[in-house]
């Protein structure tokens, strides 16, 4: 298998990831507690659904966390910080629903706008050097 991109193009990709990571930190006003793949998986999973999800389903979004108990700690921290809201499930009293707080959904919408912009700019820079 032959490499398709050169070192400069790969470095541009890493630079783009660094900028996206900085923007992710900005979503949380620099609170490094949320600079984690567990929170990335949790919050983007909830964001993708657009509607409230069962709490047990939200725990499964954190793919790198094997323990439901540990995943629950991450979700509980997000609820305590007001990033995620929890409510009773009107269809099943035994379960709870979670969704992004409206302000967090708006912040993530802006984050994704920036991330897509970064991707487009990097694509232009990488494309100019493509073989």
pTM, two decimals, is 0.88
> In the chain, where are the structural domains located?
7-128
Q: What is the DSSP string of the chain?
A: ----S-HHHHHHHHHHHHHHHHHHHHHTTT-GGG-SHHHHHHHHHHHHH-S-EEHHHHHHT-TT---HHHHHHHHHHHHHTTSEEEEE-TT-TT-EEEEE-HHHHHHHHHHHHHHHHHHHHHHHHHHHT--
Structure confidence by residue, pLDDT tens digits, 28-65: 998 899 999 999 999 999 999 989 999 999 999 999 99
Structure confidence by residue, pLDDT tens digits, 61-102: 999 999 999 999 999 999 999 999 999 999 999 999 999 999
From the candidate CATH numbers 3.30.565.10, 1.10.510.10, 1.10.150.130, 1.10.10.10, the one assigned to the domain spanning 7-128: 1.10.10.10
């Amino acid at each position: 298998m032959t490499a398709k991109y050169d070192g400069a193009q790969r470095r541009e990709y890493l630079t783009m990831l660094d900028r996206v990571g900085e923007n992710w930190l900005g979503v949380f006003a620099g609170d490094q507690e949320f600079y984690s793949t567990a929170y990335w998986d949790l919050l983007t999973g909830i964001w993708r659904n657009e509607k409230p999800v069962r709490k047990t389903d939200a725990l499964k979004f954190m793919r790198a966390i094997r323990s439901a108990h540990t995943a629950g700690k991450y979700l509980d921290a997000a609820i305590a910080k007001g990033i995620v809201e929890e409510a009773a499930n009107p269809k099943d009293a035994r379960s709870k629903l979670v969704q992004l707080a409206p302000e967090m959904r708006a912040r993530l919408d802006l984050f994704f706008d920036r991330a897509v912009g970064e991707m487009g700019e990097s694509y232009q820079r990488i494309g100019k050097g493509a073989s």
